[in-house]
Amino acid sequence: MKTQGIMAESSYQTGDPGTNICDLARSWGADLIVLGRRGLKGFAELLAGSVSNHGVHHAPCSVLVAQGQ
């Protein structure tokens, strides 16, 4: 990827994933966050939480959400 002019980094942290992703994007000055979602709805989403929903509403940059099958 670096040969094509695309910089990428990764990180591992414990804690609330939605908050951690937004905080990390803010500290990196990210232009885009790419997240997947499983498609849970209703009570299942309430129990499991929604990282993608948190990202869409709290990220400091654009968020691309890819729906899983």
CA dist 53 and 56 (Å) reads 5
Specify the pLDDT at position 11.
Answer: 75
Q: For the whole prediction, is pTM greater than 0.85?
A: no
Tens-level pLDDT at each residue, the chain (69 residues): 567 888 777 778 899 999 999 999 999 999 999 998 887 777 766 666 688 889 999 999 999 999 877
* Contact yes or no for 47/9 (Cβ under 8 A): no
Question: What pLDDT sits at residue 59?
Answer: 97
Name the H helices within 6-64: 17-28, 42-48, 51-58
In this prediction, residue 8 carries a pLDDT of 76
Domains of the chain: 17-67 (3.40.50.620)
- Partner residues linked to 67 by β-bridges: 37
